[in-house]
C-alpha cells in the first residue's frame, strides 16, 4: 500500500511518501517510483493511499484549487458515500479503499490539514498554532499496530526536535525506513515537499 507522513507546524508543512505501488490481490510490486501526492504551487497538496485505480479517478476528476478546503472536503466525502453504495452492490472492497490527506496554506494563510479514510469514515482536522505540532500519516493495513508508528515518530520528534522543516524531513525519512522494514508494501524510495 503506502506510507505518507505529514509533520506540520504553524510556519511549515512537510509531506513525504514512499514510491512503491503494489497489487493488493496478487501482492506483486508494480512500481517503485510513484509520488503519492500532488503539489499545487508549493502552497497546497493532496496525498493519497489505497486502491490506485479509484484514487486516480478521484484525484483526476477534482480540479485542485488553492485554499478551497471546504470544497475538497465536501467532494471527498461525497465520493466516499458513493464508494459505500458500490460496496453494497458487491463490488470488491479491496479495490475501493481510499485514504487521503490534503492541506497547505488556507485562505487565512494558516497551515491546515485534513485526513480522510473511506475505510473507517474518519475525518481528522489539524490547524497547528504557536508551538503545536500536527503529526499524521496514511499507512498500509499490513502494519499490525499503527500506534507503534506514532510512538516512533513522537520519540524522534522529542529527541531530534522539530524546529525546522529539515528536522521534520529527517524524522519522516527515519519513519519511512522503520515502516518499510516491517511492511513489504512500503518502499524505501521517498518523495517530499515543504510548504512554508
pLDDT reading at 121 higher than 70: no
Interatomic CA distance for residues 28 and 62, integer angstroms:
29
Interatomic CA distance for residues 157 and 160, integer angstroms:
5
Cα angle for residues 126, 20, 68 (degrees, 5° grid): 30
pLDDT score, position 181: 92
What is Dmax (Cα atoms) for the chain? Answer: 49
**CB distance 98 to 48 below 8 Å:** yes
Per-residue pLDDT band for 169 (boundaries 50, 70, 90) equals very high
Helix (H, G, I), strand (E, B) or coil at 108: coil
Query: Of all residues in the chain, what percent carry a pLDDT higher than 70?
Result: 70
Query: Of all residues in the chain, what percent carry a pLDDT higher than 90?
Result: 42
Say which residue, 149 or 170, is predicted with more confidence.
170
**CB distance 47 to 102 below 8 Å:** yes
The four Cα atoms 46, 150, 188, 163 give a dihedral, to 10 degrees, of 70
pLDDT score, position 94: 47
Interatomic CA distance for residues 130 and 116, integer angstroms:
25
Q: Which three cell numbers stand for residue 155?
A: 520519540
Over its C-alpha atoms, the chain yields an Rg (Å, rounded) of: 16
**Lowest-confidence region among 85-94, 130-139, 153-162:** 85-94
pLDDT score, position 116: 79
pLDDT tens track for 45-103: 888 887 666 666 666 666 555 456 666 666 666 666 666 555 544 444 444 566 788 88
pLDDT reading at 106 higher than 70: yes
pLDDT score, position 63: 56
**Beta strands, E only, 41-181:** 44-50, 98-105, 111-117, 123-126, 134-139
Helix (H, G, I), strand (E, B) or coil at 194: strand
Amino acid at each position: 500500500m503506502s506510507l505518507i507522513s505529514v509533520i506540520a507546524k504553524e510556519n511549515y508543512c512537510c509531506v513525504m511518501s514512499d514510491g512503491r505501488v503494489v497489487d493488493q490481490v496478487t501482492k506483486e510490486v508494480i512500481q517503485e517510483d510513484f509520488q503519492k501526492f500532488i503539489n499545487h504551487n508549493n502552497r497546497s497538496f493532496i496525498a493519497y493511499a489505497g486502491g490506485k485505480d479509484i484514487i486516480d479517478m478521484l484525484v483526476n476528476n477534482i480540479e485542485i484549487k488553492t485554499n478551497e478546503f471546504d470544497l475538497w472536503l465536501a467532494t471527498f466525502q461525497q465520493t466516499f458515500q458513493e464508494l459505500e453504495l458500490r460496496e453494497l452492490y458487491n463490488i470488491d472492497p479491496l479495490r475501493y479503499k481510499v485514504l487521503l490527506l490534503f492541506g497547505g496554506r488556507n485562505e487565512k494563510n494558516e497551515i491546515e490539514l485534513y485526513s480522510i479514510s473511506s475505510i473507517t469514515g474518519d475525518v481528522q482536522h489539524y490547524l497547528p498554532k504557536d508551538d503545536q505540532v500536527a503529526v499524521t500519516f496514511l499507512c498500509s493495513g499490513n502494519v499490525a499496530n499503527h500506534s507503534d508508528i506514532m510512538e516512533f515518530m513522537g520519540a524522534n520528534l522529542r529527541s531530534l526536535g522539530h524546529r525546522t522543516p529539515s528536522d521534520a524531513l529527517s524524522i519522516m525519512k527515519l519513519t519511512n525506513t522503520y515502516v518499510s522494514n516491517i511492511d513489504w508494501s512500503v518502499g524505501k524510495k521517498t518523495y517530499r515537499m515543504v510548504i512554508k
